[in-house]
Amino acid sequence: MSSFLLGYHIRANGVRLHLLRYGGQGPRLLLLPGITSPAITWGFVAERLARHFDVHVLDFRGRGLSFSTPGVVASLDAMAADVLDLLNVLGWSSVTVLGHSMGARVAIRAAALDPGRMARLLLVDPPMSGPGRRPYPVPLAWYVESIQMAVKGITAEELRPYAPTWTDEQLRLRAEWLHTCDQDAVVQAHAGFHEDDIHADLPKLRTPGLLMAAGRGGVMLPEDLAEIESLSPGLSQCTALNAGHMIPWDDEEDFYRLLGDYLKVDLR
């Protein structure tokens, strides 16, 4: 039986934000997806986490059912401000925040700005690109081309070249929802991977947490982990050795094992 409860909207930081809620019992967990991942695409992970947490998955602005308009401002700072005001509007404190990729960078920026709002950070393969650093390994064209195809209407099979390791079900869900990812928002986020200095935020973190790297993603390299350990010694580290950047898609059970070991709960 599904643990999905409802979808709902909150007005925060001047925009409409949409979330999906799973489980409804246990400590609150806010899940922040990546650059082209509407909340519903993380439903399979939310279902598993809902065994132990009250899970809320966010559609970032410019994605899913949240506010979107041509030219939408979707910078790292704007998205971090959305998260912090969302917590204020809902009256949440001591929340666990799980962020993947772009969502992990948003979580880092938000936690650096307001260290007291979050109890734990669970950071999954955040891009370590930035000013003067190596570029993010996935080119912007990969996102833009697939979004433009989705806007016109795309099948799972037509998406397969963009994600050849995904299951049919995963590709069907992406084909259904990718059109909701605003191209302007994605272009801004991808530029932010190179222009925003997330490393400057890391020493400001006072929130304990976990940093999970993908062993085959090319987004986080061993030298990144060593640097982060020196900048944020409060973050535990682990690596999903056989997974690419989309860790739960590539090795779902190892993702749950690693996360469960840190959280001291059985997610398998």
Residue 175 domain-assigned (yes or no): no
Q: Which amino acid is at 83?
A: V
Rounded CA Rg of the chain? 17
Answer whether residue 5 shows pLDDT above 90: yes
Domain that holds residue 230: 4-133+194-263
Q: Are 5 and 22 in contact (CB under 8 A)?
A: yes
Residue 165 domain-assigned (yes or no): no
Q: Output the pTM of the full model.
A: 0.98
Distances (CA, A) of 101 to 37, 90, 261, 265: 10, 24, 21, 23
Name 54's bridge partners. 28
**What percentage of the chain reaches a pLDDT higher than 70?**
100
pLDDT of residue 215: 97
Pairing mode of beta strands 118-124, 95-100: parallel
pLDDT of residue 125: 98
pLDDT of residue 151: 97
Span 41-100, pLDDT tens digits:
999 999 999 999 999 999 999 999 999 998 899 999 999 999 999 999 999 989 999 999
pLDDT of residue 89: 97
Cβ neighbours, 10 Å, residue 164:
8
- Identify which of 113, 101, 114, 93 has the alpha carbon closest to the alpha carbon of residue 30: 93
Residue 227 domain-assigned (yes or no): yes
Residue 154 domain-assigned (yes or no): no
Residue 111 domain-assigned (yes or no): yes
pLDDT of residue 217: 86
pLDDT of residue 75: 97
Answer whether residue 201 shows pLDDT above 90: yes
Q: Are 177 and 41 in contact (CB under 8 A)?
A: yes
Residue 177 domain-assigned (yes or no): no
Tally the domains of the chain.
1
Residue 166 domain-assigned (yes or no): no
Cβ neighbours, 10 Å, residue 192:
25
Pairing mode of beta strands 118-124, 235-240: unpaired
pLDDT of residue 268: 84
- Token pair listed for 175: 């084909």
Q: Are 192 and 75 in contact (CB under 8 A)?
A: yes
* Strand spans (E) along the chain: 4-12, 15-22, 28-32, 54-59, 95-100, 118-124, 209-214, 235-240
Residue 160 domain-assigned (yes or no): no
pLDDT of residue 20: 98
Answer whether residue 116 shows pLDDT above 90: no
120's CB contacts (< 8 A; 6+ apart) are: 96, 97, 207, 208, 209, 210
Q: Are 59 and 65 in contact (CB under 8 A)?
A: yes
Question: Does an H or E element contain 12, and which?
Answer: strand 4-12
CATH number, domain of 215, equals 3.40.50.1820
What average pLDDT does the segment 240-248 reach? 97
- Token pair listed for 229: 């350990």
pLDDT of residue 130: 97
**What percentage of the chain reaches a pLDDT higher than 90?**
96
Span 203-226, pLDDT tens digits:
999 999 999 999 998 999 999 999
pLDDT of residue 137: 95
Alpha-helix runs per DSSP H in 160-219: 168-177, 183-195
Band of the pLDDT at 106, cuts 50, 70, 90? Answer: very high
* Strand spans (E) along 26-164: 28-32, 54-59, 95-100, 118-124
Band of the pLDDT at 14, cuts 50, 70, 90? Answer: very high
Residue 41 burial class via C-beta count within 10 angstroms: exposed 0-12, middle 13-18, buried 19 and up:
buried
What average pLDDT does the segment 187-192 reach? 98
Answer whether residue 18 shows pLDDT above 90: yes
